[in-house]
């Protein structure tokens, strides 16, 4: 599951803080969704 791997990647980068990793992953996910939405609208 890509999401799990992505979360694990953030888990490593944040020095092993699962909450911070989750927040980072979620923020990044939402940001990517917004960017994609804006691109479609032009």
Residues 1-34 pLDDT 10s: 467 776 666 566 666 677 877 788 888 888 888 7
| The pLDDT of residue 6 | 67
Q: Could you tell me which of 6, 13, 9 has the C-alpha nearest to residue 29?
A: 6
Whether pLDDT at 39 is above 70: no
Angle, alpha carbons 14-19-23 (nearest 5°) = 80
On whether the CB atoms of residues 24 and 10 are closer than 8 A, the answer is: yes
Whether the predicted model's global pTM rises above the 0.75 cut: no
Tokens at residue 7, please? Answer: 């979360």
| The pLDDT of residue 34 | 78
What is the greatest pairwise CA distance in the chain?
A: 39
Reduce the DSSP state of residue 5 to 3 states and report it. helix
């Amino acid at each position: 599951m890509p999401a799990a791997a992505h979360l694990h990647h953030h888990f490593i980068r944040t020095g092993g803080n699962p909450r911070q990793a989750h927040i980072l992953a979620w923020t990044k996910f939402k940001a990517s969704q917004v960017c994609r939405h804006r691109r479609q609208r032009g």
